[in-house]
């Protein structure tokens, strides 16, 4: 597990990741203070001391599934604690099933594709990606496009703190103050804050793949977006 993988590609992503791991008790105070003292994520050059504390923090985090810091690993024996396969309990082996299926010679023959080693996620090696997508978000807002940015609050790869720091850097006026949104049975589904031209939504208890971890909450959020309304402030 490494620190610093933000979707907005902004230096605030790195600091947001550091603060996320520390605030969730995944790294020590020593590493946290060391990173804040010696690291400068606005520069491509790193220092020996910064590298030391980043490496130390990575060791401290240990082997966890970064896309959901509380999720179990797939142990290779299939569904864990959920024999029914219900979407109410996300199966950590899901990707393994897809990989095995699409790498089957019979499946590839049926799909009329050349024999290949298929992977659900691989390093593409982009050479033309922008350093940050924040200017694109500004452009969308300037052209009247409705923009929602959402985060699962237990995603360690694109942490909610990184998203909040990046949005904060836009200096947008607040239109709707922070509030909890709900679904059935007075259950808090997450939190919302509305800005001028942008809405920020969190999904409580969701990892990176929000609909997989919290399908009901994801449905409420997506339905609200499609209807052009904010998630409900009460059930």
Domain extents in the chain: 134-227
Buried b vs exposed e over 154-180: b needs ≥16 C-beta within 10 Å?
bbbbbbbbbbbbbbeeeebeeeeeeee
How far apart, in whole angstroms, are the C-alpha atoms of residue 219 and residue 217? Answer: 5
Q: At what angle do helices 29-38 and 48-61 cross, to 10 degrees?
A: 150
What is the model's pTM? Answer: 0.83
Architecture in CATH for domain 134-227: 3-Layer(aba) Sandwich (3.40)
| Tens-level pLDDT at each residue, the chain (235 residues) | 455 544 444 556 788 999 999 999 999 999 999 999 999 887 766 789 999 999 999 999 999 889 999 988 887 654 444 544 444 567 888 888 889 999 999 999 999 999 999 887 777 777 887 778 899 999 999 999 999 999 999 999 999 999 999 999 999 999 999 999 998 768 999 999 999 999 999 999 999 999 989 999 999 999 999 999 999 997 6
């Amino acid at each position: 597990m490494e620190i610093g993988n933000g979707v907005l590609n902004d230096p605030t992503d790195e600091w947001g990741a550091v603060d996320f791991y520390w605030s969730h008790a995944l790294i020590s105070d020593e590493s946290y203070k060391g990173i804040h003292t010696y690291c400068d994520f606005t520069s491509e050059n790193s220092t020996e001391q910064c590298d030391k504390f980043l490496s130390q923090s990575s060791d401290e985090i240990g082997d966890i599934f970064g896309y959901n810091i509380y999720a179990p690993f797939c142990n290779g024996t299939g569904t864990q604690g959920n024999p029914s396969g219900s979407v109410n309990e996300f199966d950590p082996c899901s990707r393994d099933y897809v990989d095995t299926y699409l790498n089957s010679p019979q499946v590839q023959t049926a799909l009329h594709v050349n024999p290949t080693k298929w992977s659900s996620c691989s390093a593409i090696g982009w050479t033309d990606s922008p350093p940050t997508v924040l200017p694109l978000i500004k452009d969308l807002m300037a052209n009247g496009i409705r923009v929602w940015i959402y985060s699962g609050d237990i995603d360690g790869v694109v942490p909610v703190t990184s998203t909040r720091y990046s949005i904060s850097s836009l200096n947008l006026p607040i239109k709707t103050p922070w509030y909890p949104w709900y679904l059935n049975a007075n259950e808090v589904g997450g939190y919302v804050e509305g800005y001028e031209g942008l809405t920020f939504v969190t999904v409580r208890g969701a990892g990176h793949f929000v609909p997989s971890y919290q399908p009901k909450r994801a449905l409420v959020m997506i339905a609200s977006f499609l209807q052009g309304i904010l998630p409900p402030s009460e059930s």
